[in-house]
Structure 1
C-alpha cells in the first residue's frame, strides 16, 4: 500500500504530460514489478502517437513493425477496456503463437501485461509491462495493481490535457487582449493579477503596477460587481482610472486602466482609446447637453452624435450617459 501511495503522490504532483511520464517511470515499478515498462498514447485512429519504454530502440522498432498488429494482450485491453495479461486473460496457445511474444523473446522477455489509459471515456493508450522468460508470470494481484496504476495515470493525463487546453485558450485570449487599445488586467476572484496586457506592462513603472494590484484586491474584497476608482501614485505622480468589473462567470475580475488628466487640467483624461472627436462629444455629454444640443455645437447630425456616443460607451465600457458622466468625473478627481 505504501508503494501505491508513493506512485499516486508523484503522479498527482505532475502537471504536464512529460512530468507525468517521468513520474510513471520512476514509481510504477513499485506497483507492478516488471523488467520492461512502457507507455503508449494513441492518436484518433488508434495508431501510437507517442510510445516509450525502458527497453531498447531496436525492440520498440520491431514491436511497432511486427508485434503490435498481432498482440492478443493489446487486443483484449482495447476490446474489454480492462487490464489483460498473457496468462490469465489471453489463451496460452494464442499468446505463444503471436508476433508480439516473438518480439519480446528477442529481449529475453516472455510475459506481457497491459492496462488501458482512459481519457474522455475512450482508450487513449496503454501501460505496458513485461517480465523475463525465467521469471514468474503476472498474477491476478498484478492485474489489479495495473488497473490501479492505469486509473490514476488516466486521471492525471485528463488533468494535463485540460491544463494544456486552458493554456492554449489563455495564450489565444492574451494575444487578443494585447491588440486592444485599452490597457487590460485580469485577476482571480481574490484580486491576484494573473494577466496584464503588454501595453500596461510597458507603460507604467513598478509603483503604478503595484497600485493597480492594490485596486484589484480592494475590489475583490468589496463584493461589488463594478467599480471605477481614481488613484494617484505618490512616487511618479501618475494618476490613473481603474475600471473593475466582475466577470459574468464570477470567476475573474477584469480591469481597464486609463490615464488621467493632470490635477490642474479641467479637460478629459488623455484616453488613447478615444479619438479627439469622441473626446469632444464625451465632454459635451459630461456638461449635460442633449443629443440635439451636441449636434448643434459640433456641427454634425444627431445620428452622428448617437454613433459617436455608442462608440464611446463601447470603448470605456459604460452603458449609459449617467455612468459616462460618473466615469469622467472620477477621471478628474471630482467623484
Structure 2
C-alpha cells in the first residue's frame, strides 16, 4: 500500500511535469518575441506560483533591458529597480557571473537577504523572496526570468529552481530565434543536462524522427516496451510511422505508450521534442480526477457551462491554442474524444465518488 505522503508527492510531481509540458508546448511553435512573452507570462504562474513575474530582454552587450514584460508589478517599481536595484542585486550578479539560476535565501541565507540593500528596494513590490534565471545564447546573457513572492506565498524551493532551470533553456532557444541570435551548440548541451534526470520521458528527434537524444526516463520506457536489442531504433520507427499517419505534431497512443509531439522551441532544423509516458504510468493508483491539473479542471468547468474555445480563452486570459492543448490533454487522460463524452465522463466520476 502506498502511504498518503507518497501519493501526495507523486501527484505533486505529476502535476508539475504536466504543467512543465504545457509551458513548453505553449511556446513551441511561436517565432515572434511579443507572442512568446505573452504565452510565457500567462502560463508560468501555474507552474511557479508567484505574485510578481517578469521576463527581461537585454540589449546586446549591455546591462540594461531592451524590453520588460511583467505581471504583478507596475512601471514605477520596474523603473525604481533599474535605477536603484539592478547594480546592487546579488542575484543579478550571480547569474551574470555563473549563468545559472538562484534564489535569494539560498544565495545569502534568510538573514543575509533581509539585511541586503536590495531587499528594501524589492520590498516596495511586496517581494520577500526572489528567484532569477538567465536566458543564454552561446555565452551571452540575452535576458532573465524573475520571480517574487511575499511572506504568505513562502520561499522558493529546490523544485522551483529545477523547473525554472529547465524552462529557461527552452525559452532561451525560442527567444534566440525570435530576435535573430541563431542557435548555439552550447544551448543543446545545456538543455540535455537540464532534462537528463527528470522523471518525465523526453526525446529530441531530427526532421525524420531519428532520435538525437533520450533522457534517462525515456530510455527506461523504451527498454520496457520494446523487446529487442535496439529499443531506441524501434521507438524511432514507431514515432516515424505514427507521425506519417497522424500528422507531424499532436498525440500518439501506441504500443502502450503516450507521446506528445511538438516542434523544439527555437530550432532551425525542424527538430521535434516528444514527451513520452506509459498508459498505466499513473492511472494505476490515481483516480481520473487526480490526473487533471487545476487549470484543466477550470477548462472542464467552462466547457460544462457551454462556452466555446474563444470564450474560455477570454475567461482564463490564455490563447485559443492553449485552450485546445488543454482539451487534447484532458481527452487523452480521460480517454474521451469530444466535449459530450468529456462531460458525461466527469458526471459519472462525480456520481461514483458521491456513492
**Which of these two proteins has the greater Rg computed from alpha carbons?**
1
TM-score range, shorter chain: 0.3 to 0.5
Q: Which structure has more RCO (C-alpha within 8 Å, separation ≥ 6)? A: 2
- For normalisation by structure 2, the TM-score amounts to 0.44
